[in-house]
Chains A and B, each alone.
Chain A
């Protein structure tokens, strides 16, 4: 499997030194990138070059590089996580790009995700939404045997479909309203499918939605862009379930 080499590409990337500074685009040339390299490995090469030239390397978030931690987050050529569907940036490979191409790279843009530096944004708003109720209130110990809570295979599978969300924020970044509905819906939906979280279902839906609004995420207008951008294929049908859960909770007030 000898990989082809991209002799030269141009990377046009957003540079912003800190939250208060105004950002700008800079374009850099990168030579000899193997098409078998991942997108982040290409940035590693670029950064190596920048450091050697005495310049500040591009700051970006990443950790697992396996598509599961949800850290790596950038807009590539106008798409969250790049042009391929159902993958994160770290899973994007350079075979997706042509020799001589200019690749535009930007951070997530959403009011609730302020830029910290270059491509790194602050997504703590997501944690705050989860803290508002994205859990089952159960203490450690004193729980029943796992098999005393039977769950149908279909429900378990649907719960996993929802639970697969990696909290990357691509849905928010892609949405024209910067709505966090898909993210919130994924969590609410996971618990709605399981018997464990039922007792506090109403409180959960209301609290999470209220927190989301409070933190400055926009409303959902059912455009569906989030679903297309989601690396984990979280379906907007979960938003419908969230809406049902939320209405149920509202009406029982």
Chain B
């Protein structure tokens, strides 16, 4: 039996959150002043949380590794944010958003969390509008919407192709207001390297000032991790270069469970890899699938000639084009969810129909939309994305179809949290992409921004009060204690160890190698043999890393290589846990495709008998096998069906 308590409130689904809010404790304003909260990460989740907690009257300290909170990875989100507003009168509702999210996640998310997310979603839009976020508008001045993969209604709010930027700037401005008011102290260019526990509760963190290498201690009554996802374990991904899993991993080593690590999202519309010097993959927003049609040639000969560069896409006649998504999934067509679209692209490329030199690309074609709507409309809708594509590939997407291929994009797994967003360490919270709770095995488009802001603006500020109400008698946390001494010693020891290896290979050499192993065996499809191999190869690579990495520069100066080395050390461990988790999950679902588990027509086959759980891994010590706990997922409101988008 599992010893996991998700603290899901009693009562009917639609009333759980309001009942819970009414039942949990509230801290008085006079007491809030005495309480300190640390927020690590100032992306959408962290900035909105820090600002809201500051407004409430807590003393907040916020941290990020970039030079400014405005540069968090959230800034890169292009497509949009969902909310159940039903402004379009197309029969959208809280329930439908909840249902789409649960189904899109292949029934591997918690019902109660997902429902709450849908329930608070309309407030997010109102909040952002009030902050001056310039969402797209209709002529009449009302908010505009578009549709996104995996759904049949238009519920996605957007600001050109810069939705993440505009939402983050909104949260950043709320944060700035609190910084100005003195309720939030901001520490940019500071990286959290450990969390400190006192009597089993999270009481502070150890950070490195990235500008001068100084190691510092910070104490607080509660710690919030809003540190984003671990997708960079693959080296090539759509994540920002600094995105990392280190904070989550250090928390795991201190006892926070790590949940569903094997669930990573592969996004179908990225610019394909070219050459070997590439550092990063660029996403083309999923909104493009509203108007772009995905195809490959029907005839293998055509595909071969494309690969050799003898012909180009425009030479292939309409009747010789295979619009495979429209063919296979007539009701959703090009708008199938990401996991389905990604696998379908891989299937066509593996079958020999890939269209670039490497054979790893399919077309996303705007010819038809331009014929129907005119170039101007397309320019208005997607202009900046088209410009971005052209800059990277040197190909004009108005005249030649884009080439796209799936890439690693988002981590559905993450630190395990209960309904209050608290991890298994009391006083330690995880929000946004850093936690695991709302998306299940696959995340629908435009729902990560929603989750980050829901957690930060509307959920954590309430639930953390419930915990802090029990802490009001605890005085300011003294950081001159044995617990802090020891944590600091461990951090310094590890940095010195990395620095003193003085081997032959730079950090990136290992990161690329790890990325290859991950993509090969823990990527778009997995099987038992491959996963076992991955575990072995990662162990070898880890050994090599710890004996042969070269970290140049000085400890006490800005040193990006030292930063990368620490993060990579954690990625090696995260990669291992991902493979282990994938191995134990003997079914296909969402972003996790086990070759041993497919339906007759080649679609992912879920197995609810064995798989209806969230894994929660517990650390047992370095080089010891971790233990998996299962949180059984109970579905009382939706019927589990095989997902179909036909």
Chain A residues near B (Cβ < 8 Å): 1-3, 17-18, 33-34, 36-38, 40-41, 44-45, 47-48, 50-52, 54-57, 59, 61-71, 86-87, 91, 93, 95, 116-117, 120, 122-124, 126-127, 130-141, 143-147, 149-153, 156, 159-160, 163-164, 166-167, 190-191, 193-194, 196-197
Is B279's CB under 8 angstroms from A91's CB? Answer: no
Of B70, B131, B142, B561, the residue contacting A196 (CB under 8 A) is B131
A17 to B211 CA separation, bound complex (whole angstroms): 11
Which single residue of chain B is at the shortest CB-CB distance from A69?
B71
A194 to B177 CA separation, bound complex (whole angstroms): 18
Of B87, B176, B309, the residue contacting A2 (CB under 8 A) is B309
A77 to B327 CA separation, bound complex (whole angstroms): 51
A149 to B131 CA separation, bound complex (whole angstroms): 11
Is B138's CB under 8 angstroms from A140's CB? Answer: no
Is A131's CB under 8 angstroms from B76's CB? Answer: no
Is A196's CB under 8 angstroms from B129's CB? Answer: yes
Chain B residues near A (Cβ < 8 Å): 48, 51-52, 55, 66-73, 75-76, 85, 87, 123, 125-132, 134-143, 159-160, 162, 164-166, 169, 172-174, 176-177, 179-180, 186, 188, 211, 240-242, 274-275, 277-280, 282-283, 309, 356-357, 387-388, 391-395, 457-458, 461, 504, 506, 508-509, 550, 552-553, 557-561
A51: min CB distance to chain B, Å: 4
Not counting A135-B173, A194-B134, a sample of 20 additional A-B residue pairs whose C-beta atoms are within 8 angstroms of each other reads A1-B356, A18-B557, A37-B275, A37-B278, A52-B506, A55-B552, A56-B553, A63-B73, A66-B280, A66-B388, A93-B391, A146-B85, A153-B139, A156-B135, A156-B137, A160-B166, A163-B134, A163-B162, A196-B130, A196-B131
> Which chain B residues lie closer than 8 Å to A48 at the CB level?
506, 508-509
Is B176's CB under 8 angstroms from A116's CB? Answer: no
Of A47, A70, A91, A146, the residue contacting B70 (CB under 8 A) is A70
> Which chain B residues lie closer than 8 Å to A44 at the CB level?
277, 279, 508
Is A117's CB under 8 angstroms from B130's CB? Answer: no
Is B240's CB under 8 angstroms from A144's CB? Answer: no
> Which chain A residues lie closer than 8 Å to B73 at the CB level?
63-64, 69
Which single residue of chain B is at the shortest CB-CB distance from A196?
B132
Which single residue of chain B is at the shortest CB-CB distance from A5?
B275
Is B127's CB under 8 angstroms from A140's CB? Answer: yes
Interface centre among A3, A63, A124, A191 (most CB of B within 10 A): A63
> What are 13 of the A-B contact pairs (CB < 8 Å)?
A2-B357, A64-B73, A65-B282, A130-B70, A130-B173, A135-B131, A135-B174, A143-B130, A144-B130, A145-B126, A156-B136, A164-B165, A194-B132
Is A1's CB under 8 angstroms from B357's CB? Answer: yes
A164 to B21 CA separation, bound complex (whole angstroms): 38
> Which chain B residues lie closer than 8 Å to A197 at the CB level?
132
